[in-house]
Amino acid sequence: MAGTKFAYVRNFELPDPLLPDTYLVCRLDGHSFHRFSDEHGFTKPNDERALQLMDHAAKSAMIEFKDIMLAFGESDEFSFLFRKSTNLYNRRHSKILTTLTSYFTSCYVLNWSQYFPDTPLRYPPSFDGRIVVYPTERAIRDYFSWRQADTHINNLYNTTFWALVQKGGQTTTEAHATLRGTVSATKHEMLFSRFGVNYNEISQRFKKGSVVVREIVAPEPSDKGEYIERDESPECSGASNPLTNIPPHSQSTNEADETPKFDPPRQKHSKAKKKNKLETTVEILHCDIIGDEFWLVRPQLLEN
């Protein structure tokens, strides 16, 4: 529209840059997923197929967006951590949020039939999202600790609630009334004494959620004792279509795109630099992230 009398309308577009030199956390939540899970017959209290589908979509998003270092998911939500130095879309709030949300949703729909082969989609699922900026490593760790603690609290409640309904013969209203005001120890005892369920033996996926992490891959030595780079894309766990052939939205800014001609020393240095570039892969874990161990062995997650 440049040079036309209509170009003035661009002046109404407001810039929306996110604060520089801060961590970005984008949290996506399923929109009206209580209805969605009922319409599609999700198993209560946890449907492992649905959780695996969420993990698949999250892993696909991390393969696509290279500046996402960590993601944590429970139920119908996922939180994505962007590195502090990311300049994805010039840190434009609306661009990052809408693109990640739509890509995640597309991956969820695209791979639905892989996890629910006998249940066709009855209507399109949707996710809403928000981005929050955090200034410190401590705030990031506390954020993900909060989400994992929430996972445990919700799962213990839901496990006990559905035991009362499915095995105890109570209505949902009666089950809520039974659990009102109870503490964790009471729920543990109720599950064990009334239904023979040892909560400690329940799957870690349900109790701790899903941790999708960008791990550093150790370089592989060649026959000559030199280290060689692996040129392979990480595949989604259990995925027939990990969507790895689509060019990523963000690329590393640490490596020069072009080496000047007629400058052998710099060219040699560039190749050496490329050889030392760390290879990463995206993995799905079900582990504790509240304690120190997870973070101490992965300092790269919070580096710039």
Domain presence at residue 288: yes
Residue 278, pLDDT score: 76
DSSP state of 56: H
| Structural domain total, the chain | 1
Q: What is the mean pLDDT of residues 250-276?
A: 44
Q: Is residue 54 in some structural domain?
A: yes
For residue 43, name the pLDDT band (cuts at 50, 70, 90). Answer: very high
Instruction: Please name the helix (run of DSSP H) or strand (run of DSSP E) that holds residue 244, with its range, or none.
Output: none
Domain assignment of residue 60, yes or no = yes
Res 37: pLDDT = 97
Residue 87 belongs to what domain range?
A: 13-146+205-218+279-301
262 is in an annotated binding site: no
- Residue 37 maps to a domain: yes
Question: Which band of pLDDT confidence, cut at 50, 70 and 90, is reported for residue 218?
Answer: confident
Across residues 116-122, what is the average pLDDT?
97
Q: What is residue 224's predicted lDDT score, i.e. its pLDDT? A: 54
**Concatenated DSSP letters of 126-170:** -EEEEEEEE-SHHHHHHHHHHHHHHHHHHHHHHHHHHHHHHTT--
The answer to whether residues 234 and 282 touch, using CB atoms and an 8 Å cutoff, is: yes
SS3 string, 73-107, reads: EECCEEEEEECCCCCHHHHEHHHHHHHHHHHHHHH
Taking 70 as the threshold, does the pLDDT of residue 137 lie above it? yes
Is 33 annotated as a binding-site member? yes
Let me know if residue 57 belongs to a domain.
yes
In a domain, 230, yes or no: no
Strand partners, 78: 28, 73
> Is 118 labelled as part of a ligand binding site?
no
Residue 47 assigned as binding residue: no
Residue 29 lies in a domain: yes
Determine, yes or no, domain membership for 254. no
Residue 76 annotated as part of some ligand binding site = yes
Least trusted range by pLDDT, from 5-14, 100-109, 234-243: 234-243
Instruction: Please state the rounded mean pLDDT for residues 273-302.
Output: 89
CB-based contacts of 136: which residues, under 8 Å, 6+ apart?
Answer: none
DSSP H or E stretch at residue 193: helix 184-195
Sorting pLDDT into bands at 50, 70 and 90, what band is 264?
Answer: very low
Considering the chain, what is the average pLDDT of its residues? 86
* Mean pLDDT value of segment 243-272: 42
Name the DSSP letter for residue 119: -
- CA quadruple 148, 151, 156, 157: dihedral sign: positive
CATH number for the domain spanning 38: value is 3.30.70.3000
Residue 48: how many other CB atoms lie within 10 Å: 12
